[in-house]
Amino acid sequence: MTTYQIPHFGLKRQYKNLKHELLDATDKVLSSGNLINGKYTYKFIDWLKDRVGCPYAVITHSGTQALEIMARYEKDEFKTSLFVMNQNPTVRIPNLTYPATLNAFLTTGWNVSLVDTDKNGLMVANHETSYEEYDCQVGLYGAAPVATANNNVFVDGAQHWLAVKGNVGRGMAISFDPTKNLPASGNGGAILTHSINMYEYAKSFTNNGKSEQSAHFFPGTNSKMSEIDCAHLLIRTRYIDEWQDRRKQIREYYIENLKDLPVRCLSEGFEHHADQKFVIYTPDRDKLFEYLHKKGIEAKIHYPYALSELPIAKDIKVKPDMLSVSIMLSRGVLSLPIYPELTDSEIESVINNVKRFYATKQG
């Protein structure tokens, strides 16, 4: 296992800073004997609703499961319509994103259409709306998508939800995976919605189909977060604004200092960005990746393939020539470290090594 001087994630550093608070919260939860659905869970749900600007929130085991539950609910609603009878709905998904987004709809029986992205990896807008077709917006790398006039919108907010205020479409799935800006100590996700019907369905579905009004009315699953995870998340919420400010500062510094190089910063020009990742595009991606690796800097290649190229998409009818931008991006995107615990000298080291690479290449 490679040990990097500048790792890509700062979880070890974050734990060092918060160790006493996190261990104290762990002790309080374990001492209470209430390890699930306790006061920390409900406090975190209240914080989440207020932060996102949404009246309803349901905690789930993961962000992927949150999206699956929303997809299942909307498909059931769609199929009860007198206008469509035995049809399945179709969802448009950007061709460049993590496969979990695609899996959530495939596993719940949707028809899927893979759509090309713009140069920043955001799905090309749908200007022709129909009752049968939905969009799933993905805020790739933390960029908040522009709201569309189409009401049939799901939001996969795993990367950009901290840049959202109320604009969640039919519903938004978010993730507290340890790699995210607000990380759980284990795993977790949530559904945010303005729809009381979706909320009640999701709340019941995550409790094996049992609701407060009746017994197990329909099939469901067991999807929860532990009290320890919620307690730890509440501690991290105390620092999230400070962390986000630092991420923004790092992003702006990267952009300013890389502007004269033959790279393009995919987070440049956005009014609202959560800075989940700092991604550059360069035709020299693979060589730059290896160079940084040798210099002890852990860069990452997120999404080296477009969804249309994966085996799980083999039955989806796509036209590769229509997906050329997303495929091009997958060949050249590289994520540089961006987390609050990075020191100024480490940021300078990343920038200087990128500059040295191009100086050596040109020489």
- Tokens standing for residue 341: 């615990």
The answer to whether 334 and 350 have CB atoms below 8 angstroms apart is: no
For residues 6 and 15, give the distance between their C-alpha atoms in angstroms, rounded to a whole number: 16
Q: What phi-psi label fits residue 85: left (phi over 0), alpha (psi between -120 and 50 degrees) or beta?
A: left
pLDDT of residue 151: 72
pLDDT of residue 209: 81
The candidate with the shortest Cα–Cα distance to 141, out of 254, 239, 265, is 265
For residues 91 and 106, give the distance between their C-alpha atoms in angstroms, rounded to a whole number: 10
93 pairs with which residues across the strands? Answer: 114
For residues 248 and 20, give the distance between their C-alpha atoms in angstroms, rounded to a whole number: 27
pLDDT of residue 252: 98
Amino acid letter at 137? Q
List, in order, residues 6 or more apart from 11 with CB less than 8 Å away: 178, 183
H-helix segments, 238-311: 240-258, 285-294
- DSSP annotation of 50 reads H
- Tokens standing for residue 356: 């040295």
**DSSP-assigned states of every residue in 318-353:** --GGGGHHHHHHHTTEEEEP--TT--HHHHHHHHHH
156 pairs with which residues across the strands? Answer: 138, 173
The answer to whether 71 and 105 have CB atoms below 8 angstroms apart is: yes
pLDDT of residue 320: 62
Question: Which domains, and CATH codes, for the chain?
Answer: 11-237 (3.40.640.10), 240-362 (3.90.1150.10)
pLDDT of residue 149: 46
List, in order, residues 6 or more apart from 19 with CB less than 8 Å away: none
For residues 94 and 326, give the distance between their C-alpha atoms in angstroms, rounded to a whole number: 8
pLDDT of residue 84: 54
For residues 307 and 326, give the distance between their C-alpha atoms in angstroms, rounded to a whole number: 9
Cα 260–chain centre separation: 30
pLDDT mean for each 10 residues of the chain (363 residues): 89 97 98 95 98 97 97 86 70 95 96 94 76 90 74 92 92 96 96 95 90 72 94 98 98 98 96 96 97 98 94 82 86 98 98 96 68
Max distance between CA atoms of the chain, in angstroms, equals 73
Amino acid letter at 221? T
The answer to whether 22 and 15 have CB atoms below 8 angstroms apart is: yes
pLDDT of residue 25: 97
